[in-house]
Amino acid sequence: MNVLEALRKRKSVRSFLDKEVEKEKIKTILDNAKRAPSAANTQPWMVCVVSGDKKKKIEARVIEAFERGKKTTMDYQYYPLQWDEPYKSRRKETGLLMYRTLGIGREDKEKQIEQWKANYRAFDAPVVLYFFIDSTLEKGSYLDYGMFLHSITLAATELGLGNCPQAALAEFPCIVKEELDIGRDKVLLCGIALGYEDTSAPINSYRTERVSLEEFVSFYE
C-alpha cells in the first residue's frame, strides 16, 4: 500500500473485533509516525498506549462522571463556541448519517446517549493512544501534532489496523491524567482508538463525503 492508497482507505472505525493488537505493530506505527515534521524539530508529542484493565478503569470512571452529569472540561477549546456555515451543516449531516446507518431516530434520545457513551469506551477498541503536549507550547506545535496524528492513522491503515481519532477521549482530562500519573502541566489533546475493524458492523459501512477541490482550492499563476 502506498501513501495515496492509505489516504483513500483510511476512515474512522467505530466498531472493533475482540482481538489483541500486537505491541510490535504499535511500536512500528509510532516509530514511523515520529518522522512527522515539527518546527525546529521540537517533536512535541507524548503518547500513552493504554489497554487491558487500565483502559477499562479509565472508561468506567469517565462514563460514571458523564452519567452523573459532570460537565466536560477539556484542557483547550476544541470546537468553536458558535457554529457558522458551512461547518454547522457539515457537522449536522455527519451526525445524521451515522444515526441513519444505525437506525437511531432523531427522537430516540436514549439510544443517542448510549451511542455517545461508546465514544468514552473508544468504541470497545482493545487499545487507546492518549496524546499529551506541554502546556507551554503554542499553536504552531498543535499544527505539528496534527501531522504526527495523521501519520499514525496512515501507518495503522497500512498495517491493517482500524483507527478513530477522538476528541471525546479528552473531555475528562483530570480522570485520564490521574489514572496515568500525568502532571497538570500537560495538555490532553485527544485519543485514537486502535484495533482490528469489525467489517460486519453497520456503523463501519458509511463514509462521509469530501468537498471538491473547486470549493477550497485557488490557483495563482
Domains contained in the chain, CATH given: 3-215 (3.40.109.10)
pLDDT, residue 179, reads 98
Helical pair 52-67 and 109-120, crossing angle rounded to 10 deg: 140
Can you say whether residue 45 is alpha, beta or left, with left for phi > 0 and alpha for psi between -120 and 50 degrees? beta
Residues 6+ apart with CB under 8 A from 164: 12, 13, 14, 122, 123, 125, 192, 193
Amino acid at 138: E
DSSP state of 36: S
pLDDT, residue 62, reads 97
Q: Report whether pLDDT(107) > 90.
A: no
Q: What is the pTM of this model?
A: 0.94
Q: Which three cell numbers stand for residue 164?
A: 478513530
Distance in angstroms (rounded) separating the CA atoms of residues 77 and 81: 8
Q: Report whether pLDDT(36) > 90.
A: yes
Q: Tell me what the mean pLDDT of segment 107-123 comes to.
A: 92
pLDDT, residue 151, reads 98
Q: Tell me what the mean pLDDT of segment 179-204 comes to.
A: 96
Task: Summarize pLDDT for 47-81 with one digit per residue, the tens.
Answer: 999 999 999 999 999 999 999 998 889 999 999 99
Label residues 128-145 b or e (16+ Cβ within 10 Å = b): bbbbbbeeeeeeebeebb
Q: First vs last Cα of the chain: how many Å apart?
A: 34
